[in-house]
Amino acid sequence: PQSPSPSSSPQPGHSSELQLFPFHLPGAFLSIQLFSLASAFRFSLIILSFPNPVVSKGCQRMQHKLLCSPSYITRLTWSFSPLLQLNKLEEAANAAHTFFMANPEHMEIQQDLENYKTTSGKVSLIDLEARQHMEDYSAGVRHYDKEEYELAIEFLERALKGYYSEDEDCQIMCEGPQRFEEHEHLDYKAGLYEAIADHYMQVLACKHDCVRELATRSGRISPIENFLPLHYDYLQFAYYRVGDYVKALECAKSYLLFHPDDEDVLENAGYYEGLLEGTVDPATIKPRKEAKTLLRRHKLESHLLQVAAAGLGYAYTEPVTPAVPCPGPSGAHSSRNSSPLMVLCLSSGGPLLYSDVKFVYNSQQLNGTQRVLLDNVISEEQCRELHRVASGIMLAGDGYRGKTSPHTPNERFEGATVLKALKYGYEGRVPLKSARLFYDISEKARRIVQSYFLLNSTLYFSYTHLVCRTALSGQQERRNDLSHPIHADNCLLDPEANECWKEPPAYTFRDYSALLYMNADFEGGEFIFTEMDAKTVTASIKPKCGRMISFSSGGENPHGVKAVTKGQRCAVALWFTLDPLYRELEGIQADEVIAMLDQEHLGPSEMNINPKDEL
């Protein structure tokens, strides 16, 4: 796994001079009381730099108490202009960086930050809501990835110490007044003992949620999966690499408290025991006490909450974190006679179904996971025909909420859907045969993707879009932007945190993606895969007629498009889902149009029922 560099975690300003500091902005009321002048000034600069409101979910209850007041729950979009007038560009950049940490999908902020770093020469910015135990964890993972195991151990041990300290604070902060969330305060009729039980359950539920909160970065909804156990997983392997087999076994046993059936770590533990034979009795090496205590407490809390829910007659659902399909960071698999090895656990390499389709590169050759590059998916003549259709049906900004330059001001985007092509064909505005070609090649691509990745269930269209991007003349000199910034298709890529958050507004239901290229007569426009840092390019693909790149849609495959500097680049973009509930509505309607056209062509007695219309 990759990891970003840690950023420092600034503390709120301190001053012995406390003042009442109220102020107002149009459309909002902000009142900050007992705020130090230094903090108030910094906060006012941040507010002044944000003209457009965007709701944040990043307020934490343990840190920055004043900043976590209702006044600060709204994080706001950042603009350079007000702080340019105040000559506070660095503060604005830090505010923007803080916003971007919670909103990594915000392309404009990302571009502004890159421009600022380029012009100012400043490499690192400050996240004003950073949490130190997470910063230490990220630093530890970064050193681990660089095989700097001693530094990795230092930061990961510090992260663990900070985690348990934050956990104590979180437990204390739950001891507060009763909240009346499910009923009006004045209508609350519970007796003394019911009220005590109700309050205690609120406190207990709050404490039980500390595990989730401590694993959730500022601004995110979802916690980092398997967060606390991963500390021990990284450490067991790092200690092994520095030759401290006692600590390696201790951390492996601590990890197994959380995942007792993890075969890889079980084998690692056995391997470490073998290394210690004759020097230390492995039975004397126990899991860490703090991990054992926290896990026992968490299980007891869960039991009490479920008993209380049954006894008091209210619903309680234990939060469940989905299991990780692959091993943890070490990916370890070991025996007494071998060192740990890396494990890969996804399938691909199925038949391509069509004899004319040419295999080019697999995942390993593309330096990634669940990737494939194919040629000759469509012919030169089909490319030309599809291009002719595109010129007759595409609309500027189609598929991008009407924005003609959604990702860069240096290119114009035009697009069209399959349904639009078929409607134009039915109306005689484009050749019907050509319009149907768009439908047919999309279905061909779907079948190839489903077969190659050995999927056991039907792959449905989630969205299909023919899109052309054209370089705008006079705007190509000294370009340092991308045609499409680095992103993932079903999660919010967060390069700084080394995470991809599978939550709205991402299209979380997308499972596989494909891009089928139509031409090569343009400059630039290479498709690129990167690491999670959104910077390190792992593979670059030059589009040409009939070439198709396909890959799984998650954070394992960050990708983007380099700037198109001359000409027009056209492709059919396809996103697929395994969940029929998220099947593309226009795709279903397109199936109906095809069925109607087949009926008109064949006659009522020979009506061709489309086998894809399974709903």
CA separation for the pair 215, 372 (Å, rounded): 34
In contact, 180 and 197? CB cutoff 8 Å: no
367: left (phi over 0), alpha (psi -120 to 50) or beta: left
Question: SS3 for 595?
Answer: helix
Residues β-bridged to residue 460 = 577
- Burial code (b: 16+ CB inside 10 Å, e: under 16) for 430-468 equals bebebbbbbbebbbbbbebbbebbebeeebbbbbbbbbb
**Which residue in the list 131, 371, 446, 569 is annotated as catalytic?**
569
Residue keyed to tokens 């996804």: 346
Active site residue 131: no
- What are 359's two structure tokens? 């295999």
**Backbone region of residue 568 per phi and psi (left: phi > 0; alpha: psi in -120 to 50; beta: other values):** beta
The residues, ordered by sequence, that sit 6+ positions from 586 with a Cβ below 8 Å of its Cβ are 417, 418, 419, 464
DSSP 3-state helix, strand, coil percentages of the chain (rounded to 5)? 40, 15, 40
Q: What is the CA 91 to chain-centroid distance, rounded?
A: 27
Residue 211 is inside which H or E element, if any? helix 210-214
Cα–Cα distance for residue pair 423/569, rounded to 1 Å: 24
3-class secondary structure per residue, 274-314: HHHCCCCCHHHCCCCHHHHHHHHHHHHHHHHHHHHHHHHCC
Cα gap 2→240, rounded to integer Å: 20
- Dist. CA 265–CA 332, nearest whole Å: 7
Letter for the amino acid at 207? Answer: K
How far is it, in rounded angstroms, from Cα 462 to Cα 586?
A: 9
Q: Which residues are catalytic?
A: 569
